[in-house]
Structure 1
Amino acid sequence: MKARDLSVLLGVILIIVMLVVPLPGWLLSILILCNISLALVVILVSMNTREALQFSIFPSLLLLLTLFRLALNVSTTRSILSEAEAGGVIATFGSFVIGDNPLVGFVVFVILVIIQFLVITKGAERVSEVAARFTLDAMPGKQMSIDADLNAGLISEQQAKERREKVESEADFHGAMDGASKFVKGDAIAGIIIVLINIIFGLVIGMVQMDFTFTEAMNTYMRLTVGDGLVSQIPALLIATATGIVVTRTTSTGNLGSDVTEQLLQYPKLLFIAAGTLFLLGFTPINFFLTTTMAGLLALGGYVLLRPSDEKEETDIEEEEQTESSSMKSPESVVNLLNMDPIEFEFGYALIPLVDASQGGDLLDRVVMIRRQLAIELGIVVPVVRIRDNIQLNPNEYRLKIKGNEVAFGELLLDHYLAMTPDIDDEEIDGIETKEPAFGLPAKWISEENKDDAELSGYTVVDPPSVVSTHITEIIKQNAHALLGRQETKQLIDHLKENYPILVEEVTPEPLAVGDVQKVLAKLLKENISVRNLPIIFETLADFAKMTNDTELLTEYVRQALSSQITKQYATDDMSLKVITVSGKVEKMIAESIQQTEHGNYIALDPESQQIIVKTLHDEVEKLTLQEETAVVLCSPAIRMYLKQLLDRFLPQVVVLSYNELEPSVQIQSVGVVNVA
């Protein structure tokens, strides 16, 4: 244990000893001086902190110092009442304040106690209570502000985490200060009670047990009581003042001294007004020489402060121009242009109200919810969406980029609603023909006056923020595999390792590197399979990675292990599934056309056979689409990934499953067969 830590523990033990063991006068004098020194150090530290969290130990320190001071009061009271003596420090303080008139000295002491209790202690307690209340009330708003800055790309994930921790620490600190300020109040009340006890019982003990006259007892015990009160109330006053400074301190760039002088003297011209006022007061019965001298000093101070401010303003302008010029020439300014955001959302100037909270825009909050929703659905942490306006776009246009490439665009009419057309078109609804951007459904932009009529006619009516939020969600889902890189995969692995360290060690870095795991997860995401169940995925990789490092085959094994998840994803509530099956002839044709190379396996089917399979499957998919059913193709596990490779070029939206990827309890209903003549 360090000597510094040991000293704190010994100090606490000494406080407990002081409560029960009588101490000699010389030791009491040393401890009293230590108490005053600690109080001075605390108030100096509180004045030199830029924000309250820099003195986060203050609530606990306040409790220890209060306990130390009360233990001193107990020890000095015991010494005063039993021996009419409490050390040289208390006697000196008492004689200095009282002088030849005990009554005047006692009145001065009472005034000091009143100031400390009613003004500083009560004020600090009230400020602590209000600060704690407002800090807790402001927490949700601060958290939303952090999320908004994060989604706008103004801060990184690490910066957002640090700011959230700071908000939580501020709330904890002010809550602790609210409770700790009660100790200051209790200490002041206890000090008043101890003073009364010393005076009353001191007179009784002095006159009854020590045969003092009333005057002798009054002089003796009044001097010691006032001295004892002063040596305890002065540190208490300093600690109470420090409490008030800490809880009223806001975030600043400097300490209290620099802030006071900088802000109080930030308008030097006002010193001339004050100087003129004092000079005019000299023509009253007030001493003319004194007021004129003070006015001259104020005017001189204003003149001295005014000259450097003018020079500083010119210097700042020159430095700013030089900084801008040098920054444009520096190589770092060019390097920063190479940074590319994973997700960018750009919009024309007419769509600014979507983002501007002062105009009612809530797109930033919606993006926060989208990232949380996709984290649950896909099992990955979606990167921050960089949102910014672009004057090169049309006023109502927006576009979405993934890693610098435009993947989607659309137009919004903020003063309209998007009405998705039902099966039977209602010609009575007037609107601007368009398409719903996320799914390509026919729709109309209608005015607010036609909103109720459209809903009654069976239209699905959506406001513009919901339209763009849905579009962003779907685009991110479609491109989730492109957003998951090695760095993001490493974060997922590290998160899994916290709860499953042995499982992770079996998979990576041997036999699979992070890149191999990333390829498996990306292939799952590309076919809309969530990777949230990482334990099962890693269990499967641990079992089969020892036999093969082909990520295509490993992905198929993982899909089979996730059969329960895949079944729930595509089967109906009654555990039935309509599928298009693949004939044995087609399966044999595909199996025979598989080419094995050192870089992996791929299908090498002749163009004519490909065309026949794709056309047959396209016809079957159209039939299912007319019935509003999801197109699912069911085949054997041996050819599933090769059939998917073939369809990705022509029908990428078609879901291809193998028999092993479905639970035995699923009732499969074949509604079509892929066959060749």
Structure 2
Amino acid sequence: MKALNQLLGHTTALRQVQMKLLAGPLLILLVMAMLILPLPPFALDMFFTFNIALAVMVLLVSMFTRQPLDFAAFPAVLLFTTLLRLSLNVASTRVILMEGHQGGDAAGRVIEAFGQFLIGGNFAVGLVVFAILVVINFMVITKGAGRIAEVGARFMLDAMPGKQMAIDADLNAGLIGEEDARRRRAEVAQEADFYGSMDGASKFVRGDAMAGLVIMVVNVIGGLLIGMLQHDMAFGDAARTYTLMTIGDGLVAQIPALVISTAAGVTVSRVNTDQDVGQQMMSQLFVSPQVLILCAAVMGLLGLVPGMPNLVFLLFTGVLAGLAWTLQRRAAREQAEADLQAPPPPAPEAPEASWDDVQLVDPLGLEVGHRLIPLVDERQDAELLGRIKSVRKKFAQEIGFLPPVVHIRDNLELGANTYVISLKGVEIGRGESFPGRWLAINPGQVSGEVEGTPTQDPAFGLPARWIQQDQRELAQVYGYTVVDAGTVVATHLNHLLQQHAADMLGRHEVQQLLDKLGEEQKALVEEVVPKALTLTTLQRILQSLLQEEVSIRDLPTILDTLAEYAPHQQDVNELVAQVRIALGRGITQQWFPPGEEMRVIGLDAGLERVLLQAMNNNSALEPGLADTLMEQAGIALTEQETRGEPPVMVVQHALRPLLSRFLRRQLPHLVVMSQAEVPADRTLRVTSLVGGQAASRG
């Protein structure tokens, strides 16, 4: 029994395979038979109905496929359906011309129904409808589908080498096996064949449309001639009978042709995804509630226009609005469910340290409290920004190099009106400034008092007052120096830049100075750096000059001097002394205008001998002598400044470095010059003498 069941199963499978193999030849034989043998009306009804069912089936299959190769037989199906329609047209034409005089049902009930029911028995309407269907099929759908298939075939052929190389690369890398590679190569070849076949098969539909027009004209003219000449029919009766039957025949053929053309367009115009055409359209057209709400709003506005079919427009408005509301509720529900099902987020791990965590200090910084932000905010007045630019430009012109850019930031930890100036991350100055108020600085010779908040000038420590706008003119009359809040900060910044110029001169700035001078005096630069001195040694020399407020603008003179002495002398202090002598006229003019007598502080001759002796013996000063020297120098400096004279002391050339380093520790404003630095044409007068009592002690 079991063997019998197996035998019956094999027999059934064999029959199914044989039926599939015979389907194609049987269809061809059927088409040839319809072309040659006359068919009765009932057979025509059966074949026309089968043609319509086949067209609908092809359309549905094309819509439900997800990949073009899922319907790889479509080009052949297109050919066979076209042949079937043409053979039906031939068979129906034979019946219409031979039996049409007997009535509208002579060619079958299907043709009669299409001629009577669909167009109401009006052959003029039928002609228009038939022409419109032919134009839609021929000019729109078939032409577009053919163009898409042509472009798709061209792109597929162009992409074939790249796809084949990608398959070979995956195979060589071991990502796929030989069987997978063979299958993927076959798919690439099949895609190219499919689009090429579709490009050619689309011509069948266009030819079918043209043939339908020709067949209709032949049927109309032939029917008129046969009806009037062979069957003695009146012209009107012949025209109505044969034209209605011809139009019915054309419609029953062109409607399936239009369906097949639509299926061809769907097949070649789809984008390869995991969804069929219907799913793609539904998931992409009706997915955004915002789109539906806007569409509902437009339809509602049109529905409110007088004269429009308000009910229809408002009905669609309600449908679209309801659909949008449904989508919004569904999205909210899905989001809530996802939030409930989602696992709690993992605790954030501390990131590993990286070089991005290394924060370099700003070479020059300015931090301001929140009430000073308008002074540096570009969106507001930002008056301080312009003054800072002027300060940097003035510094570069006077000192001889460009200072770093001032990085400005707000700091809520500071007082509301406090600002802090930092150099390389270290605070070098702090003060307060009050926007909207004025600082009246007392230079020491005012003739009256003004109302205001007592304070000190942050730059020079002079007594001052913060006054209101209405006190400004009175303060100027009394002799005060009146400046605004931005100028206070800018002046303080300028003063600190002058004091710390040596700290801001780095190797980068020195190299830029050499590069700038090298554009004009390349030989001089190359003779000094690196032949005679290293860049670091030159930096130390320039920093020593800046520490004693000597400008380095005259860089050519500095390099000329170093080119002369550096080959024989490498001591930085000795080289600085020679450079100061070379810059003597500029140093002198910095403190004493040309042509005026130089009124300076001098050093007692006895003290000079003691200091020279100690320096030659490399011994330190006796503590009592050092304290007395510092005290007397301070008294002399105060007297000098009281008289309005420059704070300058002139000593012997050998003593200048020693006294400069010693006295500037507590008297930073005192300038110590060498007699060798004073030009020969300048008159020197000592107004204060330091060291008479100290020398006698020594």
1:430 maps to which of 451, 458, 461? 451
Q: Which residue of 2 aligns with 1:655?
A: 671
Q: Structure 2 vs 1, CA of residues 286 and 507 (structure 1 numbering), >3 Å: closer, same or farther?
A: farther
Q: Which residue of 2 aligns with 1:349?
A: 370
Displacement of 1:637 in angstroms is 1.4
Displacement of 1:654 in angstroms is 0.4
Q: Structure 2 vs 1, CA of residues 446 and 328 (structure 1 numbering), >3 Å: closer, same or farther?
A: farther
Q: Which residue of 2 aligns with 1:574?
A: 595
What is the distance in 2 between the residues matched to 1:383 and 1:411? 23
Asked whether the 8 Å contact 2:368–2:410 carries over to 1, the reply is yes
1:561 maps to which of 579, 582, 593? 582
Say whether residues 1:394 and 2:415 are aligned partners: yes
What is the distance in 1 between the residues matched to 2:587 and 2:289? 74
Q: Say which is worse superposed, 581-590 or 379-388, in terms of deviation.
A: 581-590
Q: Which residue of 1 aligns with 2:644?
A: 628
Q: Which residue of 1 aligns with 2:353?
A: 331
1:138-537, aligned counterparts within 5 Å? 269=290, 273=294, 277=298, 329-332=351-354, 335-337=357-359, 339-424=360-445, 428-537=449-558
Say whether residues 1:642 and 2:692 are aligned partners: no
Q: Match of 2:561, as an amino acid?
A: T
What is the distance in 2 between the residues matched to 1:640 and 1:462? 38
What is the distance in 1 between the residues matched to 2:566 and 2:290? 79
Q: Structure 2 vs 1, CA of residues 346 and 508 (structure 1 numbering), >3 Å: closer, same or farther?
A: same
Q: Structure 2 vs 1, CA of residues 424 and 652 (structure 1 numbering), >3 Å: closer, same or farther?
A: closer
What is the distance in 1 between the residues matched to 2:506 and 2:349? 33
Q: Structure 2 vs 1, CA of residues 532 and 617 (structure 1 numbering), >3 Å: closer, same or farther?
A: same
Deviations 1:324-372 (A, max 9, x none): x9896231376323x1111111121122122123332311221111111
Q: Structure 2 vs 1, CA of residues 590 and 428 (structure 1 numbering), >3 Å: closer, same or farther?
A: closer
Asked whether the 8 Å contact 2:445–2:479 carries over to 1, the reply is no
Asked whether the 8 Å contact 2:592–2:646 carries over to 1, the reply is no
Q: Which residue of 2 aligns with 1:206?
A: none
Asked whether the 8 Å contact 1:397–1:411 carries over to 2, the reply is yes
What is the distance in 2 between the residues matched to 1:369 and 1:376? 11
Q: Structure 2 vs 1, CA of residues 379 and 445 (structure 1 numbering), >3 Å: closer, same or farther?
A: same
Q: Structure 2 vs 1, CA of residues 327 and 398 (structure 1 numbering), >3 Å: closer, same or farther?
A: farther
Asked whether the 8 Å contact 1:578–1:669 carries over to 2, the reply is yes
2:628 maps to which of 599, 609, 612? 612
Deviations 1:146-188 (A, max 9, x none): xxxxxxxxxxxxxxxxxxxxxxxxxxxxxxxxxxxxxxxxxxx
Displacement of 1:674 in angstroms is 2.2
Return the structure number with greater relative CO, CA threshold 8 A, min gap 6.
Answer: 1
Q: Structure 2 vs 1, CA of residues 610 and 400 (structure 1 numbering), >3 Å: closer, same or farther?
A: same
Deviations 1:186-223 (A, max 9, x none): xxxxxxxxxxxxxxxxxxxxxxxxxxxxxxxxxxxxxx
Deviations 1:446-481 (A, max 9, x none): 111211211122221111111111000000110010
Structure 2: 5+ residue stretches without partners: 1-287, 337-346, 693-697
Q: Which residue of 2 aligns with 1:584?
A: 605
- Normalising by structure 1, report the TM-score: 0.52
Deviations 1:421-468 (A, max 9, x none): 253555552111111111111111111121121112222111111111
Task: Give the alignment's Cα RMSD to 1 decimal.
Answer: 4.2
Asked whether the 8 Å contact 1:603–1:642 carries over to 2, the reply is no
| Secondary structure in structure 2 of the residue aligned to 1:580 | strand
Asked whether the 8 Å contact 1:590–1:643 carries over to 2, the reply is no
Q: Structure 2 vs 1, CA of residues 277 and 590 (structure 1 numbering), >3 Å: closer, same or farther?
A: same
Q: Which residue of 1 aligns with 2:566?
A: 545
Q: Match of 1:392, as an amino acid?
A: E
Q: Match of 2:624, as an amino acid?
A: E
Q: Match of 2:574, as an amino acid?
A: L
What is the distance in 1 between the residues matched to 2:595 and 2:308? 99
| Secondary structure in structure 1 of the residue aligned to 2:434 | coil
Displacement of 1:609 in angstroms is 2.1
Deviations 1:255-277 (A, max 9, x none): xxxxxxxxxxxx99468635863
Displacement of 1:489 in angstroms is 1.6
Aligned residues: 398
1:672 maps to which of 670, 679, 688? 688
Q: Structure 2 vs 1, CA of residues 327 and 445 (structure 1 numbering), >3 Å: closer, same or farther?
A: farther
What is the distance in 2 between the residues matched to 1:604 and 1:378? 34
| Secondary structure in structure 1 of the residue aligned to 2:531 | coil
Displacement of 1:583 in angstroms is 2.9
Deviations 1:19-72 (A, max 9, x none): xxxxxxxxxxxxxxxxxxxxxxxxxxxxxxxxxxxxxxxxxxxxxxxxxxxxxx
Structure 1: 5+ residue stretches without partners: 1-266, 315-324, 596-600
Q: Structure 2 vs 1, CA of residues 442 and 545 (structure 1 numbering), >3 Å: closer, same or farther?
A: same
Q: Match of 2:353, as an amino acid?
A: P
Displacement of 1:484 in angstroms is 0.9
What is the distance in 2 between the residues matched to 1:271 and 1:379? 70
Deviations 1:503-526 (A, max 9, x none): 111111233111101100001111
